[in-house]
Amino acid sequence: MFTELNSILNTSPESFTPGEFILLSDRQSDASFLIHHFLSFYLKARCKVCFVALVQSFSHYHAVSQRLGVSLTQAKEKGQLIFLEGLKESLSVFLPQEENPDHQAMSFLRDPAAGLRSLYEFVQSSVVGSSGGGGASAEQWGPPVLLMDDVSVLLSLGVRVGAVLDFSHYCRTTVCSQLQGDVVMLVRCDGEAEEDYADDEGSEQLMRGLTHQSCLTLHVQGLPTGYCRDIHGQVEFCWKKRQSDGQHAPKKVFQFKVHDKGVSFFARGTSRAVL
């Protein structure tokens, strides 16, 4: 996890607000480094994490998390992390070799227009299983957390926007309201916000719908002045509800640079390349 990001968000693995829906979004940029931050953050906070990874393989997250100080294989063995590797499971749906059991998480790929019910059932079984059967396992984990990387690839696979919004609503109800856990989702968008893209109704609509449902949004964009090798973009933080102290502003903008072992955030114009 990135310490500068923790100080900006005013959280730490020991104390964070439960029951939050955090949305990571990007526009013509790549916000996946934030997913790595939240993954290591919640694992260090001893929460039970359900990670739905739809675009990268397990070893990718494992390699990055090792640099951030968390071992995903150990977390999986201990039962703290439930990892759905979407790529691997999708192959068995696209190219069925033998009879597959029907209760697979990615079986919605057979008929994407029907919705994401199977995926929701997988999420529900993994998060509810933790708090329900606590007596059997040796260690008690904290509140459950759902991480999704990323949601907009579901649109590319043929799922309707409404189905994805329904799925996120169901997840939010189960994880945030009932179990007081957190949900972090990554959504990616391609077009310009101002132009009226009739074609991009899908991902714009999805982003707007998810932003409405979330209570904290981190929006990653490129620099408005163009491409720079030393500043990789800017992050816009947007809080929906005021926290108990109520001191901070609802919106903040920071610029960032991604290094090998972390990400540094700085106020606009204070990059080391400029000063």
Partner 1 sequence: MAAPVKSVDKPPAECSPLNFTSFQKKSRSKSLSIPGTRPSVQNGQLLVSSGVTSLDYLLGGGLAVGTVLLIEEDRYDSFSRMIFKYFLAEGVVCRHELFVAAAQDDPDDILQELPAPILDDVAIHRPGEQPRMSCEPQDTLDAMKIAWRYQNLPKVQSALASSSRFGHYYDVSKTMEPEIRQAAKWHRFYHPEHPPLSSGTHSPKLESYSALLKSLRDVIQREGFDLTAPLPKSRNILRVGLHSLGSALWGDDLCCHDNPKNVHALTSFLYGLRALLRTSLSVAVVTVPSHLIQDRALMGSITRLCDNAIALESFKGSERETNPLYKDYHGLLHVRQVPRLNCLASHLPDHKDLAFKLKRKQFTIERLHLPPDLSETVSRVSKGELAGAATAAAACSSATSSAKHLDF
Residues at the site binding partner 1, with contacts judged by CB under 8 A: 28, 30, 32-33, 36, 55-60, 62-64, 66-67, 71, 73-74, 77, 87-88, 90-91, 94-95, 109-113, 152-153, 155-158, 188, 190-191, 197, 199-200, 202-203, 227, 229, 232, 258-263
Place of tokens 């990001």: 5
Terminal C-alpha separation, the chain: 26
CA distances (Å), origin 175, targets 40, 123, 126, 131: 19, 9, 11, 11
Q: Whole-number minimum distance, CB 160 to partner 1, in Å?
A: 11
Please say whether the beta carbons of 207 and 219 come within 8 A. no
In the sheet that holds 81-85, the strands lie side by side as 81-85, 48-53, 144-149, 182-189, 21-27, 216-221, 233-239, 251-258, 263-266
Q: Where are the beta strands (DSSP E) in 160-208?
A: 182-189
Nearer to partner 1, 58 or 266 (CB): 58
Nearer to partner 1, 34 or 127 (CB): 34
Nearer to partner 1, 90 or 178 (CB): 90
Q: Whole-number minimum distance, CB 150 to partner 1, in Å?
A: 9
Q: Whole-number minimum distance, CB 242 to partner 1, in Å?
A: 32
Nearer to partner 1, 44 or 240 (CB): 44
Nearer to partner 1, 145 or 155 (CB): 155
Q: Whole-number minimum distance, CB 274 to partner 1, in Å?
A: 17
Is residue 86 exposed (0-12), middle (13-18) or buried (19+ Cβ within 10 Å)?
Answer: buried
Q: Whole-number minimum distance, CB 158 to partner 1, in Å?
A: 4
Please say whether the beta carbons of 91 and 54 come within 8 A. no
Q: Whole-number minimum distance, CB 252 to partner 1, in Å?
A: 22
Nearer to partner 1, 179 or 235 (CB): 235
Q: Cβ atoms within 10 A of the Cβ of 68, count?
A: 17
Using DSSP's 3-state secondary structure scheme, residue 63 falls into: helix
